[in-house]
Amino acid sequence: MASNDTVLPAPTRAIAMLPRRRSRMRQAVLLARRNKLGAAGVLGMVLILLIALLSPVLQRYGDNQVFQTANPEFRATATAIEIARNPRLSTPFIQDRFQAPDWEHWLGTDQFGRDIYARIIVGTRLAVIIGIGASLIAVLSGTVTGLISGYFGGRVDLIVQRVVDAVQAFPGLVLLLLLVSIMDQPNLPLTVAALGFLGWAASTRIVRSAVLALTASPFVEAARSYGATDLRVMVQHVLLNVLAPIVVIFSISIGLYILAEASLSFLGLGPADKTTWGKMVNSGRNSLDQNPWESVFAGGAITLAVLAFNLAGDALRDELDPRLRGR
């Protein structure tokens, strides 16, 4: 019997001689070896996402649960005069404030006797929701306006670009402070929306410039010439070709939003009813000299999370669209 080589028609043989397509797993490993920092970032990001997802399991205690111990000095029968002399007589429990890390409280406790570890874990979930939520809003809205502005040009483009210019002429934090002040007590959706609005300007600009480069290209003209509607050309021919920069902006700016939200919370204008890292850094600041734990752990959490998301975003950018480097 003849060997396979003689039986197969020529083109098939040529394909068979090509190196076998590498499996996805193998590709990922090669990629990771080439870009070690990026791989570390992706790993960190996956870890953070896991912590955020599993936070109810991992946090051990409630984030607002106050730990206290019975007060040995407490006397229910103490008279008003005795209490005036020694106020500790009147309180049956003392909060376990400012405990150093131990087995019961892995990262210690804060000024109200709350478990810092539990609060960090809950803060992880908030940071992830805020980072991804804001980035999603920014990218979706920026894609729509950038697409319209770049595709139609003319007056629409002019108006949109002036608004973008105006937003970018603000120092980001001032605009954020202004936006979240719309409510007396800013809540989570408002914070996410404000961050998203800030990011809208930048993503509009990037999508627009990508779209501008495309609308002049022959295949768009071809699509137009066979009578495709504007909407069809925009979505099927332009949008699908600018997806790479869109995905890159999305992933690369998550870290920025986490950082910005931390600044807001640090200044006391973050989501009012939620436990966030920025708030923790701020509350720990009052007792830095004796109890740096809260500030240091929460600040470290912010840094690590932003670092992981930034590295992962950078790696994705280098793979998808290296031209965006430096933006």
Contact footprint for another protein (CB under 8 A): 37, 162-163, 165-174, 177-179, 181-184, 255, 259, 262-263, 266-267, 278, 281-282, 285, 288-289, 292, 295-296, 299-300, 302-304, 306-307, 310-311, 325-326
Q: In whole angstroms, how close is the CB of 98 to another protein at the nearest point?
A: 15
Place of tokens 């111990």: 69
Residue placing its CB nearer to another protein in the complex, 121 or 164: 164
User: Given the complex with another protein, which of 7 and 178 has the nearer CB atom?
Assistant: 178
How far apart are alpha carbons 171 and 248 in whole angstroms? 23
Q: How many CA atoms lie within 13 A of 37 on its CB side?
A: 9
Query: Beta-carbon neighbour count of residue 267 at 10 Å?
Result: 15
Instruction: Give the separation between CA 233 and CA 265, rounded to whole angstroms.
Output: 43
Q: In sequence order, what are the residues at sequence separation of 6 or more whose Cβ sits closer than 8 angstroms to the Cβ of residue 80?
A: none
Q: Which is nearer to another protein, 243 or 288 (CB)?
A: 288
Which residue bears the tokens 């929460």?
298
Question: What whole-number distance in Å separates Cα of residue 17 and Cα of residue 5?
Answer: 10
| Phi, psi for residue 325 in degrees, rounded to 5 | -50, 135
- Cβ closer to another protein: 170 or 219? 170
Would you state the structure tokens that stand for residue 192, as one six-digit string?
């996410």
Q: Which is nearer to another protein, 30 or 166 (CB)?
A: 166
- Residue 51 vs 262, nearer CB to another protein: 262
- Please identify, using beta-carbon distances, which residue of 149 and 282 lies nearer to another protein: 282
The b-or-e profile of 240-251 (16+ CB within 10 A means b, else e) is: ebbebbbbbbbb
**Least Cβ distance, residue 260 to another protein (angstroms):** 9
Rounded least distance, CB 284 to another protein, Å: 8
Contact 302, 266 (CB under 8 A): no
Closest approach, Cβ 239 to another protein, in A, equals 27
Q: Which is nearer to another protein, 55 or 282 (CB)?
A: 282
Least distance from another protein to the Cβ atom of residue 41, Å: 9
- Helix (H/G/I), strand (E/B), else coil: 246: helix
Other C-beta atoms within 10 Å of 13: how many? 13
Shortest distance, position 183 Cβ to another protein, whole Å: 7
> Measured from the CB of residue 203, what is the shortest distance to another protein in angstroms?
15
Q: DSSP 3-state assignment of 107?
A: coil
Cβ pair 68, 95 in contact under 8 A: yes
Q: How far is the CB of 174 from another protein (least distance, A)?
A: 6
69-81 burial, b if ≥16 CB within 10 A, otherwise e?
eeeeeeeeebeee
